Structure 1
Amino acid sequence: MEPSGDSVRILCLRNRPDGEGFADPLGDSGEFAVTTVDRRERGLSLLDDESFDCVVGDADHGLDLLSTVRERRPDLPYVFVAREDDADAEAALARGATEYLDCRSDDDPLGLLAVRVGNAVASDDGDAAECRENDSYLQKLYRTASDAELTFEEKRRRLLTLGRERLGVDVGFVSRIDGDRFEVVDAVGPHELLQSGRTAPLSETYCRKTLDGEESLAVRDAASEGWADDPAYETYGLGCYIGTEVRVDGELYGTLCFADGPPRQRSFTDSESAYVELVSQWLQYELEQRADAEVLRRQNDRLEDFASVLSHDLRNPLSIAEMYLNAAERSGDAQDFEQVRDAHERIEELIEKLLTLAREGEARAQKTPHDLSETIADAWRTTETADATLRTADDPTVEADGERLQQLLENLFRNAVEHAGRDATVEVGALDDGSGFYVADDGPGIPEGEREAVYDHGYSTGGGTGLGLTIVRHIADAHDWTVSVTESESGGARFEIRGAVA
């Protein structure tokens, strides 16, 4: 009988020595279309090249065959046929069989096979299919996340691609959120506004509502769920969306999201939401590992700073002190003793600055409001400024750790006097855009090509320790400020600290 177009297509894989294929008679009814293959390799090739609704595994060593089929087609219904010496139902189902047929104890195995095939195919449209699909993607997630040959960026991109496939959507992306600033860090998919590097106000994105709850935000049909007049829907036009927040060491990093233009026909399932959560947890773990590695790198850099100073910077003044001490013992000249005293003072200064540099890398600053003018006065009083003149132009309130803010100003004042001279004029004031403050002097300034190098450990053009501006950069980093150098109105150096004013 010629099978109809609605026939269930069965691939029967067997290597039994008996004649007709066990499932072949099912094709007589027209309800089933049966293809029987006695050679394993040929059957697997057909499985790759053609479309079947169900596999019937009727072979010796059936568990091996089942595992091979599951590797190629994890979601395809599979009926495991057991004969003498074959595995039991528990073992077959654990390997991924959809149904189990024991020919050893059934009087009508062929009739029961038709039932088993029907059940397997029917279950493929329900929860069983969902479970198999979820298991398949979880295996792919694990293989990707544990692949030591892939970089973090490659793994992230592959998991975004897998998420798109798992959820049946066009777009997957990771965002970075800083205040009201939303930035796409990585993305897969064709949406023009959701590409790496694109930014937007957080208030105009779907992600803002992702942050409102403890669970993922899932939207099946944005237009019918109250998003029609929302700025996010008007900007991005996403009909469906699922997203969850990503935290690093307890602090908000951003979001992991998947979306599409058209709405979904059904809501996101619990297993789909769980998959998104798993990817976000992997992302969180990897980001925390990278942050820890960066902390370790900085600690190693500070150890190198210690080693550099101890092996070189301290050696010079120690040698000078020893040389003049020997001379003083012979001559008794007061000038030789003064040189020894100066060398010891330089050693003390180096040690103090190096310890400060080490401390500045230990923790983020605890910020409270401070009147800049009061801290300026304290810093000027505790800095050796010779005959220099201080001018203050404004008095903004700065969000800072008071002690660290004073240390920053002390180092900038000392730097100004060292390079602009004992009679330098130093000015402190608010930046025009209100984001921070500046410290300027009337000295020779810093050539444009050297302005980034001034923060490097050991950089000095005026006989200083070469650590002062390194400390300034570390203090600024601890506050999440930025520090840059430009030219003052008088041609000297002007250091601008941004992000300090609330």
Structure 2
Amino acid sequence: MGMARETSRNYFRDLFELGTDRSASLDEKIERAITLGRDRLDLEYGVLSYTGAGQYEIVDSTIESGTYEAGTTHELGETWCRHVVADREMLVVADAENSPYTDDVARDATGLQCYIGDAVVVDGEVYGTLCYSGEHPLERDFTHDERRFVQLLTQWISYEIEREQHHQALDAQNERLTEFAGVLAHDLRNPLTGARGYTELVAESVSDPEATHLQTVLDSLDRMEHLITETLSLAREGADVGERQPVSLAEIAQRAWRTVGPESAVLAVENDRTIRADASRLQQLFENLFRNVDEHCEPGVRVTVEGTDEGFVVADDGPGLPPAIADSLFGGSFGSERRGLGLLIVERVVSGHGWDGTVETGDEGTRFSFTSVGMVTEPPATSIQ
């Protein structure tokens, strides 16, 4: 009884160690899983197959050369695995001659006299099989622990393949989205450039009130250019964050302020901090918050960037955000009002860094707070105005 319990512990310890190794690629994990099962079961062969196309394709195998080595394809109808694919259940044959499968075509076609295999299921469909086999019958039945071990190993491989396929599909989708955004930006900028050029030409030859109206058109064209740039940036970067380095909160905030250039607002930076962040994406966060103030607040608004023990705050004393928009930010529920691209980019920068974001808003202004364990690397420095 003690030996059986120890064997069971060894099986599941092996599974745990395999499942928690994040350094190995999918191919490496599958190779290790197949070899692990073969060794634990003390059988000759371990094979992972793909049967989705109706044939028996060897994805990976402990057989280094010969008929069933990796990369070869066979008739599914001549394999033991055809039962697993058809029934979507584990097949266990310890001794083919002394079993209900004594006359099975797979016995002569493959030469395998013992077999244990289960179905690899990906997104609800049978992907293939994971099986272990030998050319000689076993003198005993497969134990409960051995069956459970193969079952769990198959489920784990199913999960890993499914996750890898989802990642590949997402990468392909993101690549198509980036390509589409680039083409769209190019196609939109061409007529936009023409519209701006002709508007400027006409504006030089007229006086008010026509000149004022044409300046409004130019301002709108500038806004369209900005929206195109932001859309392209969002499609290309999404939530991706590059290398994080220690950066000065005050330096990044002031650089963003100069880029946006709000003419009727004032910036104050208090309690400068050194934080770990992607400087470019952090500046992008500030620029979009500052631009939001510039576009939606009355002249004379004061914007404050303040370092805290766990991160930083960006606050203003403007009129506040619409409640529906504020409630939709940072994982909230979508309201009836649509958020602009600027706030969406702020969310992506925050989530990409793994930070927590909150917003408080009212008649006295809006306060964005960004926090994370380990974000702040140095204590407060002298306030900068």
TM-score (norm 1): 0.42
Mapped partners of 1:338, 1:496: distance in 2: 37
How far apart are residue 424 of structure 1 and its match?
0.9
C-alpha contact (below 8 Å) 1:369/1:399 kept by paired residues: yes
Q: 1:95 to 1:274 in 2, by over 3 A?
A: closer
Residue matched to 2:16: none
Structure exhibiting the larger radius of gyration computed from Cα positions: 1
Residue matched to 2:353: 479
Mapped partners of 2:284, 2:264: distance in 1: 21
Q: Does 1:91 align with 2:108?
A: yes
C-alpha contact (below 8 Å) 2:123/2:162 kept by paired residues: no
Q: 1:481 to 1:294 in 2, by over 3 A?
A: farther
Q: How does 1:385-396 map to 2 (within 5 A)?
A: 385-396=262-273
Q: 1:383 to 1:67 in 2, by over 3 A?
A: closer
Q: 1:89 to 1:485 in 2, by over 3 A?
A: closer
Question: What percent identity do the matched residue pairs reach?
Answer: 27
Which residues of structure 1 form unaligned runs of 5+?
Answer: 1-63, 97-131, 151-165, 170-268
Residue matched to 1:148: 125
| Equivalent residue for 1:402, pick from 268, 279, 283 | 279
How far apart are residue 89 of structure 1 and its match?
12
How far apart are residue 336 of structure 1 and its match?
5.2
Residue matched to 2:323: 448
Q: 1:298 to 1:372 in 2, by over 3 A?
A: same
Mapped partners of 1:67, 1:148: distance in 2: 15
Letter in 1 for 2:160: Q
| Equivalent residue for 1:366, pick from 243, 256, 270 | 243
Residue matched to 2:43: none
How far apart are residue 341 of structure 1 and its match?
3.9
Q: 1:79 to 1:146 in 2, by over 3 A?
A: farther
Provide the alpha-carbon RMSD of the alignment: 5.0
Q: How does 1:122-161 map to 2 (within 5 A)?
A: 132=114, 135-136=115-116, 138=117, 140-142=118-120, 144-145=121-122, 148=125
Residue matched to 1:283: 159
How far apart are residue 359 of structure 1 and its match?
3.4
Q: Does 1:492 align with 2:365?
A: yes
How far apart are residue 485 of structure 1 and its match?
2.4
Q: 1:88 to 1:357 in 2, by over 3 A?
A: closer
Mapped partners of 1:275, 1:363: distance in 2: 37
| Equivalent residue for 1:439, pick from 293, 314, 330 | 314
Equivalent pairs counted in the alignment come to 271
Letter in 2 for 1:475: V
Letter in 2 for 1:350: L
C-alpha contact (below 8 Å) 1:427/1:441 kept by paired residues: yes
Deviations 1:421-456 (CA, angstroms, capped at 9, x unpaired): 23111112235xx43222111112123322255799
Q: 1:148 to 1:402 in 2, by over 3 A?
A: same
SS of 1:382's partner is helix
Mapped partners of 2:328, 2:197: distance in 1: 30
Q: 1:319 to 1:349 in 2, by over 3 A?
A: same
Mapped partners of 1:472, 1:89: distance in 2: 60
Letter in 2 for 1:449: A
SS of 2:242's partner is coil
Q: How does 1:319-334 map to 2 (within 5 A)?
A: 334=211
Mapped partners of 1:352, 1:89: distance in 2: 62
Which residues of structure 2 form unaligned runs of 5+?
Answer: 1-77, 128-141, 378-385
Letter in 2 for 1:413: F
Mapped partners of 2:92, 2:153: distance in 1: 22
C-alpha contact (below 8 Å) 2:317/2:366 kept by paired residues: yes
Residue matched to 2:48: none
Letter in 1 for 2:227: L
Mapped partners of 2:167, 2:107: distance in 1: 45
Residue matched to 2:306: 429
C-alpha contact (below 8 Å) 2:311/2:376 kept by paired residues: yes
Q: 1:435 to 1:80 in 2, by over 3 A?
A: same
Q: How does 1:16-415 map to 2 (within 5 A)?
A: 74-75=92-93, 77=95, 79=97, 91=108, 94=111, 96=113, 132=114, 135-136=115-116, 138=117, 140-142=118-120, 144-145=121-122, 148=125, 168=144, 279-298=155-174, 334-335=211-212, 338-339=215-216, 341-361=218-238, 363-415=240-292
Mapped partners of 1:69, 1:362: distance in 2: 45
C-alpha contact (below 8 Å) 1:325/1:336 kept by paired residues: no
SS of 2:119's partner is helix
Q: 1:426 to 1:359 in 2, by over 3 A?
A: same
C-alpha contact (below 8 Å) 2:358/2:370 kept by paired residues: yes
Q: Does 1:467 align with 2:341?
A: yes
Mapped partners of 2:376, 2:301: distance in 1: 27
